Structure 1
Amino acid sequence: MKKIVFCFLGLLAVLYTASAQSYTFNHGPYLQELSEHAVTFVFTTSDKGFSWVEVKPDGGEAERHYTVRNGLRDAYNTFNVIRVENLRPDTRYQYRLCSKQIADFQPYKVTFGDSIVSPWRRFSTPDPKATACSFIALSDMHQQPDKLGRLLNQAGVGSADMIFYVGDMMNYYDNEETPFRSFIDKSVELFASEKPFVLVRGNHETRGNMAREYARYVPKSSGKYYGAYRVGDIMFIVFDCGEDKPDDFWVYAGLTDFDGYRTEQAAWFGELIRSKAYKSAKWRIVMNHFPPLSHMESDNPERHGIQDITDKFLPLYNQAKIDLMISGHTHAYEFMSPDKYDRLTFPVIVNSTESVARIDIDGRTLKAKVTDTGGNTLKEFTISK
Structure 2
Amino acid sequence: MKKLFFCLMGLCLSVQAFAQRYSFDHGPYLQELTEDGATFVFTTSAKGVSWVELRAADGTLSRHYALEDGLRDAYTTFNAIRVENLSPATRYEYRLGSKEIVDFQPYKVTFGDSIVSRWYAFSTSDPHAERCSFIALSDMHQQPEKLGRLLSLAGVESADRVFYVGDMMDYYADERMPFESFIDKSVEMFATERPFVLVRGNHETRGDMARSYARYAPNTSGKYYGAYRIGDVMFVVLDCGEDKPDDFWVYAGLTDFDAYRTEQAEWFAELIRSKEYRSARWHVVMNHFPPLSDTDDGAPEGHGVREITAKFLPLYRKAGIDLMISGHMHRYQFLDPEERSDLNFPVIVNSTESVVRADIDGRTMKVCVKGLDGGTIKEFTVSR
TM tier relative to shorter chain: over 0.9
Distance 1:345 1:102, change over 3 A: same
Distance 1:4 1:117 in 2: 44
Query: What's the CA shift for 1:61?
Result: 1.2
The size of the alignment, in residue pairs, is 378
Distance 1:352 1:318 in 2: 24
1:218 maps to what in 2?
Answer: 217
Query: What's the CA shift for 1:60?
Result: 2.4
Distance 2:346 2:263 in 1: 25
Distance 2:67 2:181 in 1: 30
Tell me if the contact between 1:27 and 1:45 (Cα under 8 Å) persists in the aligned partners: yes
2:70 maps to what in 1?
Answer: 71
- Residue 37, structure 1, aligned to residue 30, structure 2: no
The one-letter code of the counterpart of 2:376 is: T
Distance 1:51 1:5, change over 3 A: farther
SS of the equivalent of 2:27 reads: strand
Higher helix proportion (structure 1 or 2)? 1
2:95 maps to what in 1?
Answer: 96
- Residue 176, structure 1, aligned to residue 155, structure 2: no
Considering only aligned residues, what root-mean-square deviation do their CA atoms show, in Å? 1.3
Distance 1:5 1:190, change over 3 A: farther
1:328 maps to what in 2?
Answer: 327
Distance 1:47 1:300 in 2: 47
Distance 2:381 2:58 in 1: 40
Stretches of 4+ aligned residues off by more than 3 angstroms: 2-8
Unpaired runs of at least 5, structure 1? none
Instruction: Summarize the alignment of residues 263-278 of structure 1 with structure 2, pairs less than 5 Å apart.
Output: 263-278=262-277
1:345 maps to what in 2?
Answer: 344
Instruction: Summarize the alignment of residues 112-151 of structure 1 with structure 2, pairs less than 5 Å apart.
Output: 112-151=111-150
Distance 2:341 2:12 in 1: 80
Query: What's the CA shift for 1:342?
Result: 1.3
SS of the equivalent of 1:292 reads: coil
Tell me if the contact between 1:296 and 1:303 (Cα under 8 Å) persists in the aligned partners: no
The one-letter code of the counterpart of 2:217 is: V
- Residue 161, structure 1, aligned to residue 164, structure 2: no
Distance 1:340 1:52, change over 3 A: same
Tell me if the contact between 1:149 and 1:186 (Cα under 8 Å) persists in the aligned partners: yes
Distance 1:4 1:120, change over 3 A: farther
% identical aligned pairs = 69
Deviations 1:131-180 (A, max 9, x none): 00000000000000000000001100000000000000000000000000
Query: What's the CA shift for 1:5?
Result: 9.9
Distance 2:191 2:320 in 1: 31
SS of the equivalent of 1:26 reads: coil
Distance 2:368 2:161 in 1: 16
Distance 1:302 1:341 in 2: 24
Deviations 1:113-138 (A, max 9, x none): 01100001000001110000000000
SS of the equivalent of 1:49 reads: strand
SS of the equivalent of 2:74 reads: coil
SS of the equivalent of 1:240 reads: coil
Query: What's the CA shift for 1:326?
Result: 0.3
TM-score for both structures, normalised by structure 2: 0.96
Distance 2:357 2:12 in 1: 59
The one-letter code of the counterpart of 1:191 is: F
Instruction: Summarize the alignment of residues 8-19 of structure 1 with structure 2, pairs less than 5 Å apart.
Output: 8=13, 10-11=14-15, 14=16, 17-18=17-18
- Residue 306, structure 1, aligned to residue 305, structure 2: yes
SS of the equivalent of 1:80 reads: strand
Distance 2:35 2:11 in 1: 61
- Residue 83, structure 1, aligned to residue 82, structure 2: yes
Distance 1:264 1:272 in 2: 12
SS of the equivalent of 2:303 reads: helix
Unpaired runs of at least 5, structure 2? 1-6
1:111 maps to what in 2?
Answer: 110
